[in-house]
Every structure is written in C-alpha cells, then in structure tokens.
Amino acid sequence: PPLPGAAREIAAIAALAPRGGALRLDRAGADEEALSRMLDASHPSLLHFATHGFVFDDPKTAPFLALNRRGTAEAEDGRLTLDEVYGLELSTDLVVLSACRTGSGQVSSDGIVGLTRGFFYAGSPSVMATFWDVTDEATALLMTGFYRGYAKAGAKGASLRTAQLALLADLRAGRVAVTVAGRRVTLPEHPLLWAAFFLSGEP
C-alpha cells in the first residue's frame, strides 16, 4: 500500500540536495530496471529507499525491499531481494534503508545475514537500517532532520543522533500528531518512534 509519509520524506530530502543533485524514482517509476539504469548511469554517492521492507522468520524466504511491480519475472516482480542486492555494484558513501526491520535477518555464525550485509557486499561503506517496524510520519520527520544535519556537516552518525534527539524532544513536547480515522492523535514519547534507526559501517 502507498506510504504518504514516504512521499513527503523524499520530497523534503530532495529539497536539501544541491539543485539537480537528487535523482528520484517515485511510485510507478521506482522499479528494478529503473534502479539498475540509474545506478549504471549516475553512480550516486547516496542511495535512499523509502518503502516497505520485508524480513521473514523462515530462512528460505529472502528479505526484500518493495519496488514497483512491472511483471512476473524475477527482475520485474517489484521485490529487490537480498540476492539481487548482492549483485549490485555501488559507489555510494551511504545507503539508507528507510523501511521496516531492514536491519533484521537470519542469525548465522558470523553475524546477521540480511539486507544490511547485502548493501555492504555491494560496495557501500555505511548502511542505515532499522531494528523494528517504523511508523510513516515519525520516520519522515526523523529522516528530514538527519539529512538536514548531514548536508551541513557530512557526519553520518552524529547527524542521526541529533535527529533522533530532536524527534524525541518534539514527541516529549506533544508536537507530533497523525490523523487516524479522521481525527488528529498526538504520538507518545516512545522509543519505537524515535530509536529504530542505527548506522553500521563508517561513521
């Protein structure tokens, strides 16, 4: 299903980039083929996914990020799976997986096998992911704060920490509200809403 907060998240992030510096793949245009073409043509320094993430308890079912589905073939099914991530060749400085449970995976003898590991293998020295399911609205606010700081200082870890503390302060002050069943509801001060994201790799 659509993620209204993700659309606002991407718009806010793109507005922080230098003029012409952000390439966006939105809605119907965000499929696996378009992603592959974009990576081949532009070699972005930063790659941000604002979508649904799926991680399963069954080790036979590969985790994936949801993209637009254009067909039934593996390269068109709208599922950017872990195996497909391993096949990417990235020159990014950072990959942000703004989706549910993207830092989860199967526990093995040498760590967690999941989407985060796939993007490291593909060439990114840093990956930002989530411990658990995230909410649409709070994530949009957190990511906007992160990129505002990152655009100024270029410090990934410090920018994430600053954005999390700012969101926590807004939640604590009752300044974050969402519309549920036609009425506005103020979100509580809870770690589920501000502490889900973590940075792995180079800080």
Residue 155 has phi, psi (to 5 degrees) of -100, 110
**198, 155, 83, 68 alpha-carbon torsion, rounded to 10°:** 90
And the tokens for 79?
A: 């599922």
pLDDT-derived band of residue 132, with 50, 70 and 90 as boundaries?
A: very high
For 86, 100, 125, 126, 128, the CA distances from 201, given in Å and listed in that order, are 17, 20, 6, 4, 9
Tokens describing residue 13 = 């992030």
Per residue in 71-125, pLDDT tens? 888 888 999 999 999 999 999 999 999 999 999 988 777 777 799 999 999 999 9
Phi, psi of 87 (to 5 degrees): -85, -5
The residue count of the chain comes to 203
Work out whether strand 183-186 and strand 177-180 pair parallel, antiparallel, or are unpaired: antiparallel
pTM for the model:
0.91
- pLDDT tens column, 38-65: 999 988 899 999 999 999 888 888 899 9
What's the Rg (C-alpha) of the chain? Answer: 17
The label of the residue with tokens 């503390």 reads 165
Q: How many CB atoms lie within 10 A of CB 58?
A: 7
The whole-number pLDDT of residue 7 equals 86
Tokens of 113: 């096998």
Instruction: Name 172's Cβ contacts closer than 8 Å, sequence gap at least 6.
Output: 189
Q: What is the pLDDT of residue 72?
A: 85
